[in-house]
Amino acid sequence: MTESTYSFKVGMTCSGCSGAVDRILSKTAGVSKYEISLENQTVVVHSTLSKDEVFEAIKKSGKPVEAL
């Protein structure tokens, strides 16, 4: 399965918020790497999962998320 790169806007206001997203993505099978920018409130994910599956995983962090 080919890997895709997805970008999301995630409502993160502190290191605890970005940490919650980090914990979720680190446990998500199919995610090979990701970059979290607290300053820009963005998350870029490299994954074999679909964009919807990654979106749903990030939503589990409890933070507001939208696909870019």
The pLDDT tens digits for 2-61 are 999 999 999 999 999 999 999 999 999 999 999 999 999 999 999 999 999 999 999 999
Query: What is the residue whose two structure tokens read 């998320």?
Result: 65
Phi, psi of 24 (to 5 degrees): -65, -50
Contact 60, 25 (CB under 8 A): no
- pLDDT of 7 reads 97
**Helix segments in 1-68, DSSP class H:** 15-26, 51-59
Longest CA–CA span in the chain (Å) reads: 35
The residues with which 66 forms a beta bridge, in sequence order, are 9
- pLDDT of 3 reads 94
pTM over 0.75: yes
Question: Does position 1 have pLDDT exceeding 90, yes or no?
Answer: no
- Looking at domain 4-67, its CATH architecture is 2-Layer Sandwich (3.30)
